[in-house]
């Protein structure tokens, strides 16, 4: 069971995963500008500490559900960057074989189930997994990562009530990056401090600095212990910021550049580097960062060289197969 | 006539309706300050103040509020960003909006409009690329329109806002940047009337939304093979223009129906059955359906393009009908 403070090695590993995530995001930005991506991409630059710190406070057997902005969660939960990148580029080697795309990555063996682009969808999803663990008497915890925008959905309220009512082993991690798409949280929420909502469900609520990977790790580790003890859910509000806009299709114009600059100065990777310098030789950290950059570059190279999938008609046992029809009778049921 | 983008035509209609009637208000996610993710509502906030509102991400409640607000003296126009989120609004539509005029013996009307956009083709993946036309067209008490041209986008939206009953507008993400002539006057387009896009003698291609553009391309291909295809843009999915459908089939005796939604229990299935009901005697061959494959919309291009109907599949269906 992890303690609320990671070991030096664990911190180094979190740092490494944050750097990998950042490299992925930056490279995606470049490739998008070159017209080499498909569909919108939601980068999480500046929020890496939330996804990485939270997932690394869990055990491998625990599960996580996340949002359309899940890259840090994917990497934090131990998915192979090369296969994540492959999925982002619709390659056959991706976790969904190119079927899912970057918002919806799932890897059951890693407990990453999964990215969810219906805003709010990750919240009841984790709650249901927690119910399954409770019924099976399994020592497992479910983590729901969701945004400040998602906190306004009806299913958020409904999930929190049920989870607290049944003391489900679930952690509600509200990743507050100030915006739901282009709308500031002050135009979306009647309260500025989301943790006050926890009282309405009779569960603890805590705010943490979402740009401090140790703080996120500590809060999630404590919530996981609580959940494992049978004491039910916790609401954690990680305060952070999206420095690169909503997605690659964001036309901007709604964020105050001063605000962006302020948050850029609080870069979670820089914060973590400073913390590491207290006990670890900066040269070692630098080597680790270089290795992470090289690893990511190699992952891109490999993933981009992978083939695209070929369409194959599905068989009659596919869950979406409809009744067999005469081959000539219709054109919409190929391979029914 | 003025040349306009589809998104601008919708914007124009909203402005016209809001200027003409103070009870019209517009609300939805990211529509006010940002002007909508497809920029349909750009500039409305500046022009109409708090009658244009950004909302929290709360589709289920927003739809129910549109229903109830419309019962009490306003004409709400709600934007639901993607048709894929329409399932969240369905309770408000199927258990609320569709029933009150009837069960309360016509004491109430619900003049609200719900605009949304669907469709695939650009890698938005399984939760942002669907056409769920049949979900709403299935509900008695709702009107459902799907404009293809900028002129119809403006005219049908104007008609929808003036309509005393609920109207769903199905837009398409790949149409917003298309251009076309729009009349100078604010003229509503009657809901329930199909549009003959191009006349033909040998086969009728009935299509909805962006599939009309694919059907036009298919008609070009067929023309090269000596087949004269009539392309009909249904425009209104509910009510259907039965006369236009029957008239066309009486002339061509062959029909292909095209809809971007799933085939099984889909809108194309309804069209096909309706044609059997009303025009069977005029048919020389079974109606051919073209629809999305019955499966989730995949992300990768080589997969997605096989799932969503296109020219080639429409042409193949026409050949089958004429065989
Ligand atoms: C049910 C639903 N409504 C609307 C959207 C469109 N949408 C995608 S992301 C988003 C904003 C989400 O904000 P937040 O939860 O704060 O996540 P962030 O993007 O900030 O990470 C919206 C409105 C959606 N995907 N699903
Ligand atoms: Mg947010």
Out of A120, A177, A180, mutate this one to test ligand 1's pocket (max ligand atoms within 8 Å of CB): namely: A180
Pick the atom of ligand 1 nearest to B88's CA. 1
pLDDT reported for residue B30:
98
Best mutation target, A190, A246, A330, A334, to test chain B (most B CBs within 10 A) = A330
Instruction: Please work out whether the CB of residue A177 comes within 6 Å of at least one atom of ligand 1.
Output: yes
Q: Within 10 A of A1 (CB to CB), how many other CB atoms are there?
A: 8
pLDDT reported for residue A329:
44
Pick the atom of ligand 1 nearest to A119's CA. 26
- Residues B246-263: what's their mean pLDDT? 98
User: At B238, which helix (H) or strand (E)?
Assistant: strand B236-238
Contact A58, A171 (CB under 8 A): no
Instruction: Give the chain B residue whose CA is nearest to the CA of A334.
Output: B293
* pLDDT at position A323 over 70: no
**CATH code that applies to domain B195-322:** 3.40.50.920
Q: Sorting pLDDT into bands at 50, 70 and 90, what band is A313?
A: confident
Instruction: Please work out whether the CB of residue A118 comes within 6 Å of at least one atom of ligand 1.
Output: yes
Phi and psi at residue B213, to the nearest 5°: -65, -40
* pLDDT at position B158 over 80: yes
Instruction: Please work out whether the CB of residue A181 comes within 6 Å of at least one atom of ligand 1.
Output: yes
pTM for this structure? 0.95
**CATH code that applies to domain B2-182:** 3.40.50.970
Quote the ipTM score. 0.93
- Residues A67-77: what's their mean pLDDT? 98
The residue count of chain B comes to 323
pLDDT, tens digit (0-9, with 9 covering 90-100), for A240-296: 999 998 999 899 999 999 999 999 999 999 999 999 999 999 999 999 999 999 999
Question: Which residue, among A242, A263, A248, A117, has the nearest Cα to A183 in the 3D structure?
Answer: A242
Distance CA B59, CA A161 (A): 20
- Residues B51-73: what's their mean pLDDT? 98
Pick the atom of ligand 1 nearest to A44's CA. 21
Domain boundaries, chain B: 2-182, 195-322
The most distant pair of C-alpha atoms in chain B lies apart, rounded to whole Å, by: 59
- Residues A140-163: what's their mean pLDDT? 98
* pLDDT at position A333 over 70: no
* Beta-carbon-side half-sphere exposure of residue B199 (alpha carbons within 13 Å): 2
Distance CA A332, CA A330 (A): 6
What is the CA(B54)–ligand 1 centre distance, in A?
13
Contact B72, B109 (CB under 8 A): no
What's CA B298's distance to the chain center, in Å? 22
Q: How far is B287 from chain A (nearest CA, A)?
A: 9
pLDDT reported for residue A317:
84
| 54-93 in chain A: CB under 8 A from chain B | 90-91
pLDDT, tens digit (0-9, with 9 covering 90-100), for B86-131: 999 999 999 999 999 999 999 999 999 999 999 999 999 999 999 9
Per-chain mean pLDDT for chain B: 97
Cβ <8 Å between B294 and A309: no
Best mutation target, B82, B125, B312, to test chain A (most A CBs within 10 A) = B125
- Between A and B, how many CB-CB pairs are < 8 A? 143
pLDDT, tens digit (0-9, with 9 covering 90-100), for B184-241: 998 999 999 999 999 999 999 999 999 999 999 999 999 999 999 999 999 999 999 9
Per-chain mean pLDDT for chain A: 94
**CATH code that applies to domain A8-305:** 3.40.50.970
- Residues B62-84: what's their mean pLDDT? 98
Instruction: Give the chain A residue whose CA is nearest to the CA of B305.
Output: A311
Which of helix, strand or coil describes residue B260?
Answer: strand
Domain boundaries, chain A: 8-305
Using the structure block, give the residue that is written with the tokens 């029933």. B99
Which residues from chain A sit within 8 angstroms of residue B54, using beta carbons? 183, 187-188
Q: What residues contact residue B274 under an 8 Å CB cut-off, 6+ apart?
A: B240, B242, B245
Between A154, A187, A309, which is nearest B58 by CB? A154
- Residue B314, both tokens: 């429409």
What is the CA(A149)–ligand 1 centre distance, in A?
6
Instruction: Tell me the torsion sign for CA atoms A245, A89, A118, A124.
Output: negative
What's CA B312's distance to the chain center, in Å? 22
Tell me whether the CATH fold assigned to B2-182 matches the one assigned to B195-322.
yes
Question: Which residue, among B167, B149, B146, B129, has the nearest Cα to B262 in the 3D structure?
Answer: B129
């Amino acid at each position: 069971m992890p303690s609320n403070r990671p070991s030096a090695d664990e911190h180094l590993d979190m740092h490494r995963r944050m750097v990998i995530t950042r490299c992925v995001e930056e490279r995606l930005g470049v490739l998008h500008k070159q017209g080499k991506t498909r569909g919108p991409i939601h980068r999480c630059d500046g929020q890496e500490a939330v996804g990485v710190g939270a997932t690394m406070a869990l055990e491998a057997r625990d599960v996580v559900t996340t949002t359309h902005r899940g890259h840090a969660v994917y990497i934090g939960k131990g998915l192979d960057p090369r296969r994540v990148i492959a999925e982002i580029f619709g390659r056959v080697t991706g976790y969904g074989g190119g079927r899912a795309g970057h918002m919806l990555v799932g890897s059951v063996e890693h407990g990453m189930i999964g990215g969810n682009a219906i805003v709010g969808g990750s919240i009841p999803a984790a709650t249901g997994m927690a119910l399954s663990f409770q019924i099976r008497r399994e020592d497992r915890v479910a983590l729901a990562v969701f945004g400040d925008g998602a906190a306004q959905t009806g299913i958020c309220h409904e999930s929190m009530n049920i989870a607290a009512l049944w003391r489900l082993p679930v952690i509600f991690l509200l990743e507050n990056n100030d915006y739901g798409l282009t709308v500031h949280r002050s135009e979306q929420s009647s309260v500025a401090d989301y943790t006050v909502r926890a009282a309405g469900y009779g569960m603890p609520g805590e705010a943490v600095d979402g740009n401090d990977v140790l703080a996120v790790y500590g809060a999630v580790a404590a919530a996981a212990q609580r959940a494992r003890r049978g004491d039910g859910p916790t609401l954690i509000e990680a305060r952070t910021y999206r420095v690169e806009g909503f997605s690659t299709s964001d036309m901007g114009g709604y964020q105050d550049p001063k605000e962006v600059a302020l948050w850029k100065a609080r870069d979670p990777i820089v914060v973590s580097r400073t913390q590491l310098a207290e006990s670890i030789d900066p040269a070692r950290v630098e080597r680790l960062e270089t290795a992470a950059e090289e690893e990511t570059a190699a992952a891109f190279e490999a993933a981009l060289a992978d083939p695209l999938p070929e369409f194959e008609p599905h068989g009659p046992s596919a869950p979406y197969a409809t009744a067999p029809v005469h081959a000539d009778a219709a054109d919409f049921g190929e391979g029914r | 006539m003025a040349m306009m983008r589809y998104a601008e035509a919708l914007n124009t209609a909203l402005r016209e309706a809001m200027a003409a009637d103070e009870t019209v208000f517009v609300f939805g996610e990211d529509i006010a300050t940002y002007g909508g993710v497809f920029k349909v509502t750009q500039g409305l906030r500046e022009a109409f103040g708090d009658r244009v509102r950004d909302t929290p991400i709360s589709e289920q409640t927003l739809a129910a509020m549109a229903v109830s607000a419309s019962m009490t003296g306003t004409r709400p126009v709600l934007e639901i960003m993607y048709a894929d989120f329409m399932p969240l609004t369905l309770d408000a539509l199927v258990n609320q909006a569709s029933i009150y005029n009837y069960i309360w013996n016509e004491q109430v009307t619900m003049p609200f409009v719900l605009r949304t956009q669907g469709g695939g083709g650009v890698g938005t993946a399984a939760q942002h690329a669907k056409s769920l036309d049949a979900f709403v067209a299935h509900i008695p008490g709702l009107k459902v329109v799907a404009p293809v041209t900028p002129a119809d986008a403006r005219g049908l939206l104007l008609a929808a806002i003036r309509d005393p009953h609920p109207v769903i507008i199905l837009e398409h993400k790949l149409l917003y940047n298309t251009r076309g002539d729009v009349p100078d006057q604010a003229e509503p387009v009657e809901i329930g009337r199909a549009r003959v896009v191009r006349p033909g003698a040998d086969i009728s291609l009935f299509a909805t939304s962006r599939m009309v553009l694919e059907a036009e391309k298919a008609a070009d291909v067929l023309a090269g093979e000596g087949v004269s295809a009539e392309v009909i843009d249904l425009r209104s999915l509910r009510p259907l223009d039965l006369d236009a459908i029957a008239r066309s089939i009486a002339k061509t005796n062959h029909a292909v129906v095209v809809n971007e939604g799933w085939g099984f229990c889909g809108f194309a299935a309804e069209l096909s059955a309706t044609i059997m009901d009303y025009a069977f005697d005029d048919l020389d061959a079974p109606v051919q359906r073209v629809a999305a494959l019955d499966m989730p919309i995949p992300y990768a291009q080589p997969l997605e393009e096989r799932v969503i109907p296109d020219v080639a599949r429409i042409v193949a269906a026409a050949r089958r009908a004429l065989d």
